[in-house]
């Protein structure tokens, strides 16, 4: 019993110290490094309590959980109750009268503790069309899963490793797609990036949408992944068409250095790269790609189920800031698109100002024609939610 109280006390201490200026996972590592007496099970339980707290949504002055010690403890208890599928020891310590109802459907549990579901994600009016607010709020009480995209030629290898490894629980599968519990240490089972790529379900779906357009292009097309980041979309496109002439860019050399290492693991050697801050105008001769892939910086609101601390600390003014940045980027990259080319716009945001409203801006500002636009609701698949639009010059 004292161990549980110690875990609760540690979780409260961490939550009081954390200010949201860095990923919570990084903050936790530093905290646990300074408190080495905690074992792995202790660290796991304490982290879980903290994440349960964040999953209840941002602080509200009018809400039931004031920022006091007792308020934090109450919010931890509510989060744990709503995230639990069965009774457990920790909940019996925090709220014994709740523990016996832990297996109830979420809707009944919300009613039982008089929890206002809409407070989890209070920006309903900002949502893109197609995002169900109630379902999206519900999804925050479930940890998203881990998804793999098996690379061409490695299907038998990966499935042989997964099927012969008793420690791996496969939740869903097809030839090129695997859904696993988020806690799976997949790096210990397969060669990540060479045999399979860790890639969310919705991100893989953007690939299927892009594939339908690429197949209509000539075989040796030139594609510019202008906000390449870690290169996940580029690897996906390469796997669709290894003859593609790939160009990647990002605003920092360090990002491209990491991308280079990942490409090496993936066996991608034929590509060009350059550093560019796309929020400012720039000139590069002979770029003229047939396809520009712009997976632009965004609030990341479609991924907050994985990082609920971002949900907790989100400032809605950031929506406008990102929308402004996105408009600058598209205005600076679209002039490089060759006549008749395709512009692919992607975000992992659920906010319409970053999605539909940017597409409307592109149409008005550049004259590009909308070919396809889709909101990918990952929340009912334990996945991220994303947005994709394809326009033609």
Residues 6+ apart with CB under 8 A from 219: 241, 243
Tell me how far CA of residue 188 lies from CA of 77, 148, 256, 261, in angstroms. 34, 14, 26, 19
**What pLDDT shows up at residue 62?**
42
Sequence length of the chain is 393
Q: Which pLDDT tens digit goes with each residue over 314-373?
A: 999 999 999 999 999 999 999 999 999 999 999 999 999 999 999 999 999 999 999 999
Do 279 and 358 fall into the same domain? yes
Do 25 and 64 fall into the same domain? yes
Structure tokens at 363: 């149409």
**What pLDDT shows up at residue 353?**
99
**What pLDDT shows up at residue 283?**
79
3-state secondary structure 361-377: HHHHHHCCEEEEEEEEC
Number of Cβ within 10 Å of residue 45's Cβ equals 21
Evaluate whether residue 105 is within a structural domain. Answer: yes
Evaluate whether residue 90 is within a structural domain. Answer: yes
Q: What is the CATH number of the domain that holds 222?
A: 3.40.50.150
The CA-based dihedral angle spanning residues 6, 9, 10, 15, taken in that order and rounded to the nearest 10 degrees: 160
For residue 217, pLDDT beyond 90: no
Range of the domain at 189: 146-198
Do 116 and 256 fall into the same domain? no
Q: Which pLDDT tens digit goes with each residue over 83-136?
A: 999 999 999 999 999 999 999 999 999 999 999 999 999 999 999 999 999 999
Q: Is the dihedral of CA 344, 350, 353, 356 positive or negative?
A: positive
Structure tokens at 130: 């197609």
**371: Cα within 13 Å, side-chain hemisphere:** 16
Evaluate whether residue 208 is within a structural domain. Answer: yes
Residues 6+ apart with CB under 8 A from 33: none
Do 168 and 251 fall into the same domain? no
Cα–Cα dist 31/14, whole Å: 8
Evaluate whether residue 136 is within a structural domain. Answer: no
Q: Which pLDDT tens digit goes with each residue over 239-293?
A: 998 989 999 999 999 999 999 999 999 999 999 999 999 999 887 877 889 999 9
Cα–Cα dist 339/273, whole Å: 22
For residue 208, pLDDT beyond 80: yes
Evaluate whether residue 93 is within a structural domain. Answer: yes
**What pLDDT shows up at residue 136?**
98
pLDDT range class, residue 61, cuts 50, 70, 90: very low
The mean pLDDT value for 134-153 works out to 97
For residue 213, pLDDT beyond 80: no
Cα–Cα dist 46/31, whole Å: 11
In terms of Cβ atoms closer than 10 Å to its own Cβ (0-12, 13-18, 19+), residue 234 is buried
Which of 380, 309, 359 is CA-nearest to residue 137? 380
Do 186 and 274 fall into the same domain? no
Evaluate whether residue 138 is within a structural domain. Answer: no
Cα–Cα dist 189/46, whole Å: 27
Pairing of strands 386-392, 369-376: antiparallel
Structure tokens at 347: 């975000």
Residues facing residue 369 across a β-bridge: 392
Do 333 and 370 fall into the same domain? yes
Do 152 and 116 fall into the same domain? no
Q: Strands across the sheet with 172-173, in order?
A: 172-173, 177-180, 146-150, 196-198
Q: Which pLDDT tens digit goes with each residue over 174-197?
A: 778 899 999 888 998 899 999 999
**What pLDDT shows up at residue 65?**
53
Cα–Cα dist 213/215, whole Å: 5
Do 339 and 226 fall into the same domain? yes
Angle between helices 2-17 and 69-83 (to 10 degrees): 110
Evaluate whether residue 159 is within a structural domain. Answer: yes
The CA-based dihedral angle spanning residues 50, 51, 55, 57, taken in that order and rounded to the nearest 10 degrees: 50
For 232, which DSSP code?
H
Cα–Cα dist 43/49, whole Å: 10
Residue with tokens 């360090």: 254
**What pLDDT shows up at residue 171?**
72
For residue 81, pLDDT beyond 60: yes
Do 235 and 342 fall into the same domain? yes
Do 222 and 241 fall into the same domain? yes
Cα–Cα dist 172/62, whole Å: 41
In terms of Cβ atoms closer than 10 Å to its own Cβ (0-12, 13-18, 19+), residue 377 is buried
Evaluate whether residue 375 is within a structural domain. Answer: yes
Do 85 and 232 fall into the same domain? no
The total of structural domains in the chain comes to 3
Average pLDDT taken over every residue of the chain = 92
Do 183 and 112 fall into the same domain? no
Residue with tokens 């906000």: 227
């Amino acid at each position: 019993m004292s161990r549980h109280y110690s875990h609760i006390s540690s979780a409260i201490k961490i939550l009081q110290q954390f200010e949201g200026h860095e990923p919570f996972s990084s903050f936790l590592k530093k905290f646990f490094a300074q408190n080495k007496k905690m074992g792995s099970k202790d660290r796991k339980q304490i982290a879980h309590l903290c994440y349960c707290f964040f999953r209840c949504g941002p602080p509200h002055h009018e809400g039931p959980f004031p920022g006091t010690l007792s308020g934090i403890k109450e919010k931890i208890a509510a989060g744990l109750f709503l995230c639990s599928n069965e009774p457990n020891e920790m909940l019996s310590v925090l709220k014994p009268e709740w523990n016996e109802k832990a297996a109830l459907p979420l809707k009944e549990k919300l009613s039982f503790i008089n929890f206002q579901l809409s407070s989890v994600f209070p920006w309903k009016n900002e949502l893109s069309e197609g995002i169900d607010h109630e379902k999206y709020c519900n999804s925050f009480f479930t940890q998203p899963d881990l998804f793999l995209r098996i690379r061409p030629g490695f299907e038998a290898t990966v499935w042989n490793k997964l099927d012969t490894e008793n420690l791996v629980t496969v939740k869903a599968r097809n030839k090129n797609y695997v859904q696993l519990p988020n806690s799976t240490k997949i790096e210990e089972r397969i060669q990540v990036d060479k045999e399979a790529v860790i890639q969310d379900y919705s991100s893989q779906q953007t690939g299927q949408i892009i594939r339908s357009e690429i197949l209509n292009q000539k075989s040796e097309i030139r594609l510019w992944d202008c906000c390449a980041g870690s290169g996940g979309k580029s690897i996906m496109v390469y796997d669709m068409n290894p003859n593609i002439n790939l160009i990647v860019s990002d605003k920092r050399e360090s990002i491209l250095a990491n991308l280079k290492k990942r490409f090496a693991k993936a066996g991608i050697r034929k590509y060009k790269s350059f550093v560019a801050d796309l929020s400012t105008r720039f000139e590069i001769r002979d770029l003229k790609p047939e396809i520009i892939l712009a997976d632009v910086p965004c609030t990341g609101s479609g991924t907050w189920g994985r990082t609920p601390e971002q949900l907790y600390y989100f400032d809605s003014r950031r929506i406008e800031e990102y929308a402004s940045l996105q408009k600058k980027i598209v205005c600076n990259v679209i002039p490089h698109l060759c006549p008749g080319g395709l512009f692919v716009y992607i975000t992992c945001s659920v906010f319409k100002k970053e999605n539909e409203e940017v597409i409307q801006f592109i149409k008005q500002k550049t004259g590009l024609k909308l070919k396809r636009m889709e909101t990918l609701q990952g929340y009912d698949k334990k996945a991220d939610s994303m947005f994709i639009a394809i326009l033609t010059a």
